[in-house]
Amino acid sequence: MSQILEPRDLIARGTARTRDEAIREAGGLLVASGAVSDDYVASMFEREASVSTYMGNFLAIPHGTNDAKESILRSALSLVRYAEPIDWNGQPVRFAVGIAGLNNEHLEILSKIAIVFSDEDEVAKLIDAGSAEEIYALLEEVNAE
């Protein structure tokens, strides 16, 4: 696996105020990085309509449906942090992590993100980080082989 999370795919101060805006923001980063085509974002909304991607600990991981596999050009993550929690189907979200996995790499990527976000101290560090660079440094493990 190559670099999954690039600094350019991370926003420390997201502008979304709703769940759908957050999906668009996280998905837009994946499109802008060349990891997915535009239609992948539509499949992220399809996934959300069938099952919430809220994971707990202020984290949502919007991602496409299985039918959108052909829209994935390379495995990648995007991360957007929000100053104020976004209402995600009644749950507070401070981090929207867009994910695209080529050849089932999304499972390994998901497990790395889950490890970080299952630790409340790590989540607190991510919330308190002063910059995108600090957030990126805290998430370096997602790029580890």
Give the residue numbers annotated as catalytic, written as ranges. Answer: 63
Distance CA 28, CA 79 (A): 11
Which residues, 6+ apart, have CB-to-CB distance to 127 below 8 Å? 58, 81, 94
Using CB atoms within 10 Å of the CB of residue 92, give its burial: 0 to 12 exposed, 13 to 18 middle, 19+ buried: middle
DSSP β-bridge partners for residue 56: 59
CA distances from 141 to 3, 48, 93, 109, 120 (A): 11, 27, 22, 10, 16
Angle, to 10 degrees, between the axis of helix 39-50 and the axis of helix 19-32?
150
